[in-house]
Amino acid sequence: MKLPNLDTVAGGPFFLMAGSCAIESRDLAFEIAEKINKMTKDMGIPYIFKGSYRKANRTKIDSFTGIGDIPALEILKEVGAHFNLPTVTDIHESAEAAMAAEYVDVLQIPAFLCRQTDLLAAAAQTGKAVNIKKGQFMSGNSMKFAVEKVMHENPDATVYLTDRGNSFGYGDLVVDYRNIPEMAAFNVPVIMDCTHSLQRPNQTTGVTGGQPALIETIAKAAIATGAHGIFIETHPNPAIAKSDGANMLPLDQLEGLLEKLMKVRKAVL
């Protein structure tokens, strides 16, 4: 089990971070991991299993937030061990870093929290890899300082930067592909979050919307403009997903998308 880095992805295939938005159950996590692990192995795509052990940023008070921190983290650890896969999950406060690091290989900093110095420092101090999502209010160039905060605490840290679009008006996001080469200039792998970048936040219903039909468009453009990795949330049936179903990719569509992205990657290398 080895995490992708610039050396391993520079001249080869992109890597994939994918899974359901939240850990809903052990059975679902294993179903998703098994199917994606098989297709990525067949294609030679490095794969990191993703699942949030808790959803801290929800619009409504009664929104699903998780099945419990430790039960969800234990599922993540079990998935990683069973399939020999690295795993990634979000953390939201400094105190969560050490706890989550006992179970996963990559700690993810949510976009809204990418400027939180104490959170970045706590993640770096665990010795785990850190995936920092670019804030919807940030430029690619400004993410240099987030990388510096992590490297200050751990000069040997593996750091990823993930774009997920920029705020546009009150209920939409727009992807600016200038951010990919700008963030790649910091000598870290750059990932495109192809599902969250298509969110329609701040809906009057209190439930975030999305445009999943454009996932392929966002992903192809990201690979074409130099992204090293792709982040996709997927579910066997997004309509019944407990979190972010409106912008997820149906699991049975993932393999076909990856095949197309491999062709784009080969063309631009």
Cβ-based neighbour number of residue 237 at 10 Å: 12
Give domain status of residue 4, yes or no: no
Give domain status of residue 3, yes or no: no
95-101 mean pLDDT: 97
Give domain status of residue 8, yes or no: no
Give domain status of residue 6, yes or no: no
Distance in Å from the first CA to the final CA of the chain: 25
Report the C-alpha gap between 108 and 25 in whole angstroms. Answer: 20
State the alpha helices, DSSP H only, in the chain: 6-9, 26-43, 69-83, 94-101, 117-125, 144-153, 179-184, 215-224, 254-268
CATH number of the domain at 242, please: 3.20.20.70
Quick: pLDDT tens for 121-174: 999 999 999 999 999 999 999 999 999 999 999 999 999 999 999 988 777 889
Q: Which domain holds residue 157?
A: 14-268
Quick: pLDDT tens for 37-52: 999 999 999 999 999 9
Q: How many structural domains are present in the chain?
A: 1
Give domain status of residue 75, yes or no: yes
Cβ-based neighbour number of residue 153 at 10 Å: 17
170: left (phi over 0), alpha (psi -120 to 50) or beta: alpha
Report the C-alpha gap between 89 and 107 in whole angstroms. Answer: 6
Give domain status of residue 246, yes or no: yes
Give domain status of residue 5, yes or no: no
Give domain status of residue 159, yes or no: yes
List the helix and strand counts (H, then E) for the chain: 9, 13
pLDDT score of 171: 73
